Amino acid sequence: MRVIGDKERWNPMLEVEDSTILLSGTYRFTPKEHLKSLLTSRNWKEIYKQDDHYMVGTAQYTLSTVEEDPCSGLPAQEIVSHRNALLMFSIANVTEGKLDTVAFSESIIYPGKPWTFTFNGSAYTLEAEGITFYSEDGRNPEGHYTLKLFAAAYTEGITLIHQSQYDDTCTEIVMITDLDRDGFPDFILSSPQHYEIERYLIILSSENKMYEGRRNFDC
């Protein structure tokens, strides 16, 4: 794993793979044939909950046409998950089965408030620097937010996120688990740049890239 950051900051051909994550909901700005081709040309898996456990399995969904989106009044497409999946993804290095996840009570890591967790018997610490989300006036100050992962094997820290655009949004932990089954923690993060965009990221410990998916829902 190496430093990974904003799509605008790093080389997207090497560091970021977009359109590898899809989210349930309406897609108004994606051409119909493009979304259909994206879904049918790849093998899509999903993360869903079953009996209080998170699972990875083959994606079960329906792609339907919306004649008139209630928000925009325009035609749209909608991905409907049959199992209320957290997200769908097309990543070859992730196998199906039950996921062991790390429990956490706070999804945002604030600067000056590191958080330590244990995974497979090893201790890890997440530390943030930069802006503090949602300050007293309710708005985010200008500046960057950096989230690093520390452990005994890398005392200098590994940068998971370095982002400078936050329009009433923040970076949040969605899940810490072992998607690639290598014994080390992987991360699913929510980190949109705008409050009318969903943006999810998957960072695997075994790869030097960040998988990204986004969905606009602005009116």
Over residues 36-48, the pLDDT tens digits come to 999 999 999 999 9
Which one is predicted more confidently, 136 or 205? 205
Cβ–Cβ < 8 Å for 193, 199: yes
What confidence score (pLDDT) does residue 171 get? Answer: 97
SS3 37: helix
State the greatest distance between any 2 C-alpha atoms of the chain, in Å, as a whole number: 55
Going by pLDDT thresholds of 50, 70 and 90, the confidence category of residue 14 is very low
Whether the full predicted model's pTM is greater than 0.85, yes or no, is yes
What confidence score (pLDDT) does residue 3 get? Answer: 39
Going by pLDDT thresholds of 50, 70 and 90, the confidence category of residue 138 is low
Cβ–Cβ < 8 Å for 70, 54: no
SS3 98: strand
* Residue 20 scores a pLDDT above 70: yes
d(CA 4, CA 191): 13
What confidence score (pLDDT) does residue 21 get? Answer: 96
Q: Which residues of 114-131 are buried (b: 16+ CB within 10 A; e: fewer)?
A: ebeeebeeeebebbbebb
